Structure 1
Amino acid sequence: MWVQILLLLPMAFLLPPGAWAGEIIGGWEAKPHSRPYMAHLKIQRRGKSYVCGGFLVSENFVLTAAHCNGDNITVYLGAHNIQQWEWSQQKISVRRQIPHPQYKRETLNNDIMLLQLAKRAKLKREVGTIALPRANEIVKPGTWCSVAGWGRTSTESESTSATLREVTVMVMLDAKCPKDPYGPYDNYNPSTMMCVGDPAQGKDSSKGDSGGPLVCRKTAQGIVSWGPPTPPGVYTRVSTFIPWIRATMRRLQP
């Protein structure tokens, strides 16, 4: 399988054979704190450190990709520059990781996970939640959305961005991620995944950006998941999982 996990490095123990990772390509630095829902995840697993993105959906829950799991996760909210102290930042440990029960590591199907925070986030201008879509809501192909993260900015460099970067990307037809057994999208599932990013634009998300939101009209419609080295990339379709998200949050609320 030729896939590009949009996560962190080094992370071979998490990936299917031959998996790739990538970066925000063709983007720009975001206005500081213009995306108050963004979460930066620091992950410990088997003695190694990794990073992912995520987004705040309530005072004590962050949504991210299931492949961003680990032995221990710390969430940073209100961050712009993750390499320096900022008065706006809130550092909160994760009490519980809840990956979707049908998550498949081999195919990255159902690549979605809720993180229950150890304490409630303090909501203010720099820290806020983002709206979720209606259950089974469909984003029309041709819609322009945005994605942001602290991942790599070039395929030629392993360095990641200290500051939050963003890029606009187009939602594509599912047919643009064809299930060809000899191609990079063999595991694409249109009921749980979105095909995003016009190859002609060359803009994409990736390494270090996994788990971050695909935002369409101020709503988190997708989650950065996987894809080949060039767009389109594959995002988890959030609207498919709204019943599970709502039920899980209700069950775990103190």
Structure 2
Amino acid sequence: ANMKIMNGREAAPNSRPYMALIKLDGKDEEMLCGGSLIKDRWVLTAGHCDRDGWKKKIILGAHSREKSNQWWQEFHVEKSIAHPNFNKTNLNNDLRLIKLKEKARLTKAVQLLPLPTTYKDPEERSTCETAGWGETEKAEAADNLMEVNVTILDREKCAKHWSENKANITENVICIIVGPGSEDTCGGDSGGPLICNGVLSGVT
């Protein structure tokens, strides 16, 4: 999903210590993504969170996307591996693993997000949560980490709804709908975790 957190709330500092801020710098533009620290040298993010030839920087322990703090850890990327079946056109299998050049130091503000030992689709209408530094109501990237609750939509209903737009809703896709108002996720939130019942269930 390529989305933005609208009407979300600011996350409490250090409340999501697995969050990674991914900064991609091109010659004339910057791209922000979120990610999840799943091992001390590995970050899970979205497949489309990469650009050939762009400089990549991973920041752990961040609350503000610009202001460093005592917990801030910055890393260069050793390797960036897209899912072998990632499709750039329709974003199917939109997953990527990023290997850090050095190990992350686990602290109060930097922790691993456990991967599920078994996988089951989240139930329809269940509430999940996601977070990121995506755009806010002012169409600007959020300075501080934002979070929002979302609701799971049945995949068949979702596929029917999006068929008019020729969206490819496969078994690898989880559909989410927004709550009251226009809460959602957007650019800058791409790559962040979808957490249902405390378990990683997907990547936005």
TM-score by length of 1: 0.74
Aligned to 2:62: 79
Q: Which residue of 1 aligns with 2:175?
A: 195
Residue 215, structure 1, aligned to residue 204, structure 2? no
Q: Whose RCO is larger (CA < 8 A, sep 6+)?
A: 2
Gaps of 5+ in 1: 7-21, 225-254
Instruction: Give the CA deviation at 1:216.
Output: 1.3
Structure 2 counterpart of 1:89: 72
Cα distance in 2 for partners of 1:29, 1:164 equals: 6
Q: Distance in 2 between matches of 1:209 and 1:185?
A: 23
SS at match of 2:164: coil
The 1:181–1:91 alpha-carbon spacing in structure 2 relative to 1, beyond 3 Å, is: closer
Q: Give 1:143 deviation, angstroms.
A: 1.5
Larger displacement relative to structure 2 (198-207 or 98-107): 198-207
How many residues are aligned here?
A: 202
- Does the Cα contact within 8 Å between 1:131 and 1:218 map onto a contact in 2? no
Q: Does 1:151 align with 2:134?
A: yes
Cα offsets for 1:210-246 (capped at 9, x unmatched): 000011122211111xxxxxxxxxxxxxxxxxxxxxx
Q: CA deviation at 1:187?
A: 1.1
Aligned to 1:64: 45
TM-superposed CA distance for 1:50, in Å, is 1.2
Percent identity of the aligned residues? 33
- Contact kept, 8 Å, 2:149 with 2:179, in 1: the verdict is no
2:34 to 53, 59, 78: 53
Q: 1:134 and 2:134 equivalent?
A: no
Give structure 2 stretches of 5+ with no counterpart. none
Instruction: Quote the RMSD (CA, aligned, Å).
Output: 1.9
Alpha-carbon distance between aligned partners in 2 of 1:89 and 1:176, rounded to the nearest angstrom: 42
For the 8 Å contact 2:19–2:60, the answer to whether it is kept is yes
2:157 to 161, 176, 196: 176
The structure with the largest helix share of the pair is 1
Give the Cα separation in 1 of the matches to 2:199 and 2:49.
21
Match of 1:12 in 2: none
